[in-house]
């Protein structure tokens, strides 16, 4: 599963939006939208750390394995 779909799933589970994620994490929407759209496939560690913290989940939740 792509990172954007994993983030979408986490947001849907808590009924939150990407806008909320931007405000909660301090990550500008201009950084999040390429991730959301799938245009950006790789995300920096610091950005993922902020996303995980905002969603109150472990970074391991976003790990991808072979075949994903």
Average predicted confidence (pLDDT) for the chain: 91
pLDDT for res 68:
47
Exposed/middle/buried for 64, CB within 10 Å: 0-12, 13-18, 19+?
Answer: exposed
Long-range contacts of 51-54 (CB under 8 A, 24+ apart): 51/7, 51/21, 51/25, 51/27, 53/25, 54/21, 54/24, 54/25
- Whether residue 5 contacts residue 68, with contact meaning beta carbons closer than 8 Å, is answered with no
d(CA 28, CA 61): 22
Confidence bin at 66 (pLDDT 50/70/90): low
> pTM here?
0.88
- Mean pLDDT of the 52-64 span: 91
């Amino acid at each position: 599963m792509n990172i954007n779909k994993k983030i979408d799933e986490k947001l849907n589970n808590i009924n939150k939006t990407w806008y909320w994620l931007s405000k909660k994490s301090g990550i500008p929407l201009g950084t999040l939208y390429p991730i959301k759209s799938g245009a950006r496939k790789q995300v920096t560690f610091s950005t993922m750390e902020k996303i995980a913290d905002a969603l109150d989940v472990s970074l391991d939740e976003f790990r991808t394995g072979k075949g994903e």
